[in-house]
Structure 1
Amino acid sequence: MNNSRRDFLKKASILSSVAITLPSLQNEAFAAPNFNMSGFAAPKIDKVKVAIIGLGMRGPGAVDRISYIEGAEIVALCDKHADRVTKAQTILTKKGLKEAKAYSGEDGWKTMLKNEELDLVYICTPWEYHAPMAIAAMKAGAHAATEVPIGLTISEIWEVVKTSEATKKHCMMLENCCYDFFEMLTLNMTRQGMFGELVHAEGAYIHDLLDLNFNKKGYDNMWRLRENIKMNGNLYPTHGIGPVAQCMNINYGDKMNHLVAMQSNDFMMADRAKELAAQDDFYKEFVGKRYRGNMDTTLIKTEKGKTIMIQHDVTSPRPYSRIHLLSGTKGFAQKYPKEGIAFGHSFVKPEELKALYEKYTPELVKFIGEQAKQVGGHGGMDFMMDWRMIDCLRNGLPLDQSVYDGASWSAIVPLSVDSVAKNSRTVEIPDFTRGNWKTNKPHDMTLNGGGNTKIRAKVESKDVQLNVG
């Protein structure tokens, strides 16, 4: 046998062995799902027993909002810090509601899941706990709702998807921006064909959080600042991708195929750490770290050849923007810096925009929008999201966002980190629907037989913390 043939057979043997034994994330894509959660309607729950984990930045607001929904009862509250649980209890008692069961400590949430019979676990903890807590909640027999993102690694995101399918429990990522008023308007207009076929979309999270991320009284144990050291990519893509992905029917007739991410260097966080450390020894541990860059721009290509741009910048001194841009064959919409819709070279006039709002505002917004503004939460979108989720659970309706949506939108976090590390090389995006995107139908954003969930009278509570998100 000559040397070239011997080398060829040796290499073929090695490749064959690797192909058989090497576990691959791609294998997930070919495994049939246990159950397709898209369009799944869980059995009706007359009164939804809710537990809320995490009572720092986002949790108290959730306690306040859900306490207004008559079809929901907050039966358990949990936080690592017992004083936060005690403070959150006052949100309930000041409204004449009974205290929830209190849990605290590092493993308080595990004890809670073991002891309580729950219908919904609402997770408002630091990012790293979202996937483990959601998985444990579903295995304990409850539906899960988690703040963004749904997970930080591809493997744990897959585990969330598979657990949801296996248990037939919803896992909804709480992407509140999908419920903002202009986003809902443009979603309905898109589905009515007003923009023709969408070709390109843009979204973002551009929010100057430099001071908050370095604030000792902000995020517990400076966890969000630590994430900006640990990961160099688009850390918060879902506010931007969520609304435009729904408009482009991602996971419902199209899917995201691959992305590339390019990121600037850090020009501010390392310097801020040095400035603060010169005045306060507390900040010395944050000096000399390699921080995430100021601006990350992630470009995505879909199966149908459409493009999406998602940006992330939480350090530069810029006005807040989520961009929310839709470009189609017949029209165009953009939210920032000013809401506008165009069907040619110029934006429609204010009176025409008002007429479009009157004609295309979705049924859901017309039904609950004004009440949502009264209760609050980022102008009402938080409450509209919470009310809608509870109403769907009570009436046995599919949720507006499936586990596949939370999974694919969240996957941009680790995939953008991977692309940036590879000098902006292309990275494949897993198909969490495992082929079902071809036949999945977009969620019905009408009330669809729901709408019977009442709202308690508004009562002001000064104990609710305002928060970012």
Structure 2
Amino acid sequence: MNDAAPQNHDISRRSVLWTAGAAAGAGIGAGALGTGSASAAERTGRAEQAGVQEAPAPKRQGQSMIGVPFQRRSTVRVGLIGLGNRGGSMIDLYLAVPGVRVVALCDPVKAKTEAAAAKVTAAGQPAPAVYVHGDHDYEQLLKRGDIDFVHIATPWDSHFEITRAALLNGVHAGVECPASMRLDQLWELVDLSERTRRHCMQLENCCYGRNEMRVLRMAHAGKFGELLHGAGAYIHDLRGLMFDPKYYEGPWRRLWHTRLRGDLYPTHGFGPVANYMDVNRGDRVVSIVSVGSPALGLAEYRQANMPAGDPSFKESYIESDRTISLVQTAKGRVIRLEHDVSTPHPYSRINSLGGTKGLFEDYPERIYLEPDQHDDNWGDFSKYADWDHWLWKEHANPPGGHGGMDYMLVFRLMQCMRLGLVPDFDVYDAATWSAPVPLSHLSVKAGGAPQRIPDFTRGDWHRSRPGVDSEKPAQA
């Protein structure tokens, strides 16, 4: 699932792989679902409070995936698992990119799969294979042997297991946000990617937003001077959607508010700022401190809007209405992350970056750079359009939702696969951007105690290397 911006509420019901498992887990303690076993999570929290040094990384089982290109191919054969709000819309973008063939689809709701298959044939491609026999039929899809890349757009509970199965079957995996809710599973995805030599990518569309890519190029050109701080967020009033069975099929997303207290959805804000600061490409994030407000918003909304006797009244919400985290990097930079989906607020990802020469702030977009601006007057960011990334210069009016960033993500990823290029981000980024989910929970639960963020690159973060700020390939 990826809610990068407000969407039309009149959408068919969300695909729900493993919703039964999510519902069954509603009564399980938060620690048990946050970072593995409850005892392990508690031990980790106590160790961090006591000032214990970061545990050594698990021994590498394969070779680093940094700088590993895709195998060049004339046609990229794609499978999609999960065809609800997200997957059902993303299929249109794969069909819009040249050199891509959608060969297989999977969702336990047959009507969704049939509707997606009809899109494929309407686009002039052969009818795709469909997998509709229960929550685990994706295993058969991944065993086909003719899929190069799989897009995983299912509820969060299932992300890890499906991604794991893709890698073990030799399929490059792109997974919606977050990659996993547990730290041990993030490490396992790193190990699996290195062992199988298949890429595992967090499909973070916000990294391809026009503003984000413009700020990225300006930052790397030194326009902001030495970088000091940044901020990102997911602030989106989802109260109505979380109680709407026509939007999320089943209560899976709302139930996470009964389990964890930290930042459930950090990647939209974290990914772009990490790119600005070259995290895993010359800098790394080392620690996170999180605090959270009381959990009141969902219960108040339920009381005011849900009928008496609704099953949701059996739920006890513990997720902080507003979580604020401070992330420190090895170079001393500070990243502020915020999460709030249960109180009234206009949509915002904050998206700010500051340095010794000025800063940018989004929502609304504004800029203040020396010597261009002075006397406390914000500048017009549209005047910096010359700094747009080449993707946005070539695709000024991209199709699809979220302002075109979805298409940019798909186009660029498929381009890298067709031309045999190194992907813009990799499994180390996926693990890093998702790590605040369990670690912010531990920090909030421990009264704001700092938590160490693992170095998923195992020391390779020192290596300067390209990322989303890519050069236009010479090939078509």
| TM-score, structure 1 as length reference | 0.86
Structure-1 residue corresponding to 2:263: 234
Tell me which of 369, 392, 407 is aligned to 1:342: 369
Q: Is the 8 A contact 1:229 1:291 kept in 2?
A: yes
Determine the C-alpha separation between the residues in 2 that align with 1:154 and 1:146: 16
Structure-1 residue corresponding to 2:325: 298
2:220 aligned with 1:196, yes or no? no
Structure-2 residue corresponding to 1:44: 72
Structure-2 residue corresponding to 1:310: 337
Task: Count the aligned residue pairs.
Answer: 421
C-alpha offsets along residues 285-328 of structure 1, whole Å, 9 cap, x if unaligned? 44351331210001111111111100000011111110111010
**Deviation for aligned residue 1:332:** 0.6
**Deviation for aligned residue 1:347:** 4.7
Q: Which consecutive unaligned segments of at least 5 residues does structure 1 have?
A: 1-23, 453-469
**Deviation for aligned residue 1:223:** 0.9
Determine the C-alpha separation between the residues in 2 that align with 1:203 and 1:268: 22
Distance verdict in 2 for CA 1:347–1:118, change over 3 Å:
farther
Q: Is the 8 A contact 1:340 1:347 kept in 2?
A: no
Structure-1 residue corresponding to 2:95: 67
Q: Is the 8 A contact 2:57 2:456 kept in 1?
A: yes
- The within-5 A match list for 1:79-118 is 79-104=107-132, 105-118=134-147
Q: Is the 8 A contact 1:93 1:99 kept in 2?
A: yes
Determine the C-alpha separation between the residues in 1 that align with 2:349 and 2:333: 20
Output the amino acid matched with 2:238. Answer: L
Distance verdict in 2 for CA 1:156–1:345, change over 3 Å:
farther
| SS of equivalent to 2:57 | helix
Determine the C-alpha separation between the residues in 1 that align with 2:468 and 2:271: 16
Structure-2 residue corresponding to 1:408: 432
**Deviation for aligned residue 1:380:** 0.4
Q: Is the 8 A contact 2:275 2:467 kept in 1?
A: no
Structure-2 residue corresponding to 1:323: 350
Determine the C-alpha separation between the residues in 2 that align with 1:440 and 1:128: 34
Structure-1 residue corresponding to 2:384: 356
Structure-2 residue corresponding to 1:418: 442
Q: Which consecutive unaligned segments of at least 5 residues does structure 2 have?
A: 1-51
RMSD: 1.9
Distance verdict in 2 for CA 1:345–1:325, change over 3 Å:
farther
Distance verdict in 2 for CA 1:238–1:89, change over 3 Å:
same
| SS of equivalent to 1:340 | strand
Q: Identity of paired residues, percent?
A: 37
Q: Is the 8 A contact 2:298 2:317 kept in 1?
A: no
- The within-5 A match list for 1:76-225 is 76-104=104-132, 105-225=134-254
Distance verdict in 2 for CA 1:101–1:26, change over 3 Å:
farther
Structure-2 residue corresponding to 1:464: none
2:455 aligned with 1:439, yes or no? no
| SS of equivalent to 2:429 | helix
Determine the C-alpha separation between the residues in 1 that align with 2:325 and 2:397: 36
**Deviation for aligned residue 1:345:** 5.1
C-alpha offsets along residues 339-394 of structure 1, whole Å, 9 cap, x if unaligned? 334335535543xx334212x112222123x242xx12211000000000000011
| SS of equivalent to 2:251 | helix
Structure-2 residue corresponding to 1:462: none
Q: Is the 8 A contact 2:260 2:319 kept in 1?
A: yes
**Deviation for aligned residue 1:272:** 2.4
Structure-1 residue corresponding to 2:18: none
Distance verdict in 2 for CA 1:235–1:450, change over 3 Å:
farther
Determine the C-alpha separation between the residues in 1 that align with 2:305 and 2:379: 48
Q: Is the 8 A contact 2:291 2:444 kept in 1?
A: yes
| TM-score, structure 2 as length reference | 0.85
Q: Which consecutive aligned stretches of 4+ in structure 1 deviate over 6 angstroms post-superposition?
A: none
Distance verdict in 2 for CA 1:451–1:371, change over 3 Å:
farther
Determine the C-alpha separation between the residues in 2 that align with 1:167 and 1:26: 27
Distance verdict in 2 for CA 1:436–1:206, change over 3 Å:
same
